Chain A
Amino acid sequence: MSYIPIPEDRHFRIKRIGYDPGRSRPWLERLVYSLYVFAFWGFVIATYAGVPALFDALGWTAGWGYVVMRATQVVLLFLLSAVIALMLILALRKYLGKVQERYGPMHYGPAGGIQTVFDALKLLGKEDFVPAAADWLTFRLAPAVTFVSSFAIFAVVPFASGWTLADTNVGLIYLIAVSTLSTYGVLLGGVSSGNKWALVGALRAGAQMVSYEIPLALVFLSVAVWGGSLSLGRIVDSQMGLWNVVPLFIPFVLYVISSLAELKHIPFDFPEAESELIAGYNVEYSGMSFAFFFLAEFVELFLLPALIVVFFFGGWHGPLFGLEPGTLAAGALQSLYFTIKTAVWVWIFLWIRATLPRYRDDQLMEFAWKAMIPLALFGLVLAAYMRLIWR
């Protein structure tokens, strides 16, 4: 009577692995995620104190030895940027999860701690596809341009007193030059994709850059005027007694807004607005090319809050408990202060991402030209005036 035989494995049953959701483990989460911060801190110490100490011990401090030492530091920073990206993606997903009454990643590693490593492996395994309508060379080059320009900001960020790759006296100008380049990557990637959504995204990125770059430069100028230097190290030094956020409050607010715009972060994420342009400029990217855009975005999500801390929140300043500045212990403590301050700002950025909807693209331009530039000019004049009076 049987009409169709019933196969034994009719049901695709999920294998029940040993996992007890009833066992709440918030302490484990806290442990894992603070371990990440400490791993980051260790990485910074190894890069800025460990490598020079090692080369000192080897005696390679002049000529080619110096070059090799710097190159080693750059390689370490590259690894660090990958770690930062993995960390921040995890932090974003976990925080978004908490905020949205979910748990976020929780299955791979303790408290979901290595979820993003698997995500990166998945991206590595994907086909890196170039559409037929795309311009091959530009399409390939764009992620590299974006990533390199974001990564190059590392060169001038002071993690502790003297812990900079290049404490040039034109640090701010270098910053403006380099951070503007990342928009070129977005523009090139969008235009070369041969996709209309990507084209619109790229054009929006260009228009956005035109609006936020000018207030950004004016804010840099006020910081330079008040700090008396273009070098980031000396700007931090000058905030010894009083953090810049108090005298330079207007430039500080403008800088946060411009940073959000430069990051293509949520109130201003028009170039990749997923509900409007699907994914905007990176819609045709897949595999590792996409991963590089992603990497660049999250490296910037670390670096721009770090620059906020450098410019306005005293950088690595904090109580040293009698340690001699310039020693390893003092440097480690200072870089810990820097890390914690940056983490707080990253959290604020993630919080903004969790809450706010998106402006329209012309509203940012209008806001930038009608409100931010006059305010930035006012802030600049005010900073100059205050400098004349008090310093």
Chain B
Amino acid sequence: MSLLSEVWQAVKALGTGMATVHKRVYEDAPTEFYPYVQPDLPAVSVQSLALVENEDGSERCIVCLQCERACPAQVITIERHRNPEGKGFLIDRFDIDLVNCMYCAACVEACPVSSIVTIQDFEMSTYDLHTLKADIDFLHEQSRRSRRWYSPKFGVEIRTDDGKIVKAPPEMQPGGLAELLKPAEEEVDQ
């Protein structure tokens, strides 16, 4: 008798498994239709890096080399010279090797002026790896095209149609709970 009950248990278990599988036929598939529908990425999502220009087209970056030092993969190469008319530095070269970059966003954390930012343009596939060795024009172009970026210091910023850079409204901000509950801080002057 125990053999029969064992067989019955096995058949019942197999039947339960098959029913479990078949009931999913009637559920909606969670498939994302990516090339047709863009995914809704969270604001903090690190997909690519960009370099932000000021509203007047000048450089936001102060060439402090913090990002170069912070980079674990050591893919950022910066060359600079002293500004002959005034203080600070000017950029000679600002390269990020987006092929070897591991998108940890350590540079974005390190940047004191939120010049280097993360953007959500992930469509970087290319036939030629050399096209992903980004120079400064490339990085500016990234931020111009993306028009929305994130840095831990300023949160999500938006470039409006008339070229102004404004902080995104709170509902677009990723914000931790602590940041959300803090009183709104003034716009940081550049």
A-side residues, CB < 8 A to B, are: 1-4, 6-7, 10-14, 16, 19-21, 95, 97-103, 351-352, 354-356
Verify if B31 is at the interface (C-beta below 8 Å from A).
Answer: yes
CB–CB B25/A12 < 8 A: no
Least CB distance from A33 to B in Å reads 14
CB–CB B21/A3 < 8 A: no
Least CB distance from A96 to B in Å reads 10
Q: Number of contacting residues on B, CB 8 A?
A: 35
CB–CB B36/A351 < 8 A: no
Least CB distance from B147 to A in Å reads 16
Q: Which of B107-159 contact A (CB under 8 A)?
A: 123-128, 130-131, 133, 135-138, 141
Least CB distance from B5 to A in Å reads 16
> Do A21 and B133 contact each other (CB < 8 Å), given the known contacts A101-B24, A351-B22?
no
Residues of B within 8 A of A98 (CB): 24-25, 29
A and B contact pairs by CB, cutoff 8 A, 26 listed: A1-B91, A1-B93, A1-B136, A6-B131, A6-B137, A6-B138, A6-B141, A11-B123, A11-B124, A12-B125, A12-B127, A14-B35, A20-B36, A21-B33, A97-B29, A98-B24, A99-B21, A100-B24, A101-B29, A101-B30, A102-B29, A351-B18, A352-B18, A355-B14, A355-B20, A356-B18
Verify if B27 is at the interface (C-beta below 8 Å from A).
Answer: yes
Residues of B within 8 A of A97 (CB): 29
Residues of B within 8 A of A1 (CB): 91-93, 136-137
Least CB distance from B138 to A in Å reads 5
Residues of A within 8 A of B137 (CB): 1-2, 6
The 9 closest A-B pairs by CB, nearest first: A3-B135, A21-B33, A14-B35, A98-B25, A355-B21, A355-B18, A101-B29, A12-B125, A10-B131
Interface of B is mostly: mixed
Chain B's closest residue to A348 (CB) is: B18
Verify if B95 is at the interface (C-beta below 8 Å from A).
Answer: yes
C-alpha gap A3/B31 in the complex (Å): 41
CB–CB B29/A99 < 8 A: no
> Do A4 and B17 contact each other (CB < 8 Å), given the known contacts A11-B124, A99-B22, A100-B24?
no
CB–CB B36/A102 < 8 A: no
Residues of A within 8 A of B177 (CB): none
> Do A354 and B21 contact each other (CB < 8 Å), given the known contacts A1-B136, A11-B126?
yes
Chain A's closest residue to B123 (CB) is: A11
Least CB distance from B151 to A in Å reads 23
C-alpha gap A13/B127 in the complex (Å): 11
Chain B's closest residue to A18 (CB) is: B36
B24 in complex: contacting residue of A11, A19, A99, A352, CB < 8 Å: A99
Chain A's closest residue to B121 (CB) is: A11
Residues of A within 8 A of B14 (CB): 355-356
Q: Which of B1-45 contact A (CB under 8 A)?
A: 14, 17-18, 20-22, 24-25, 27-31, 33, 35-37
Residues of A within 8 A of B128 (CB): 7
C-alpha gap A21/B31 in the complex (Å): 10
Residues of B within 8 A of A352 (CB): 18
CB–CB B31/A102 < 8 A: yes
Residues of B within 8 A of A12 (CB): 123, 125-127
CB–CB B25/A99 < 8 A: yes
Least CB distance from A73 to B in Å reads 37
**Interface readout for B72-103 with A: 1 if CB under 8 Å, 0 if not?**
00000000000000000001110100000000
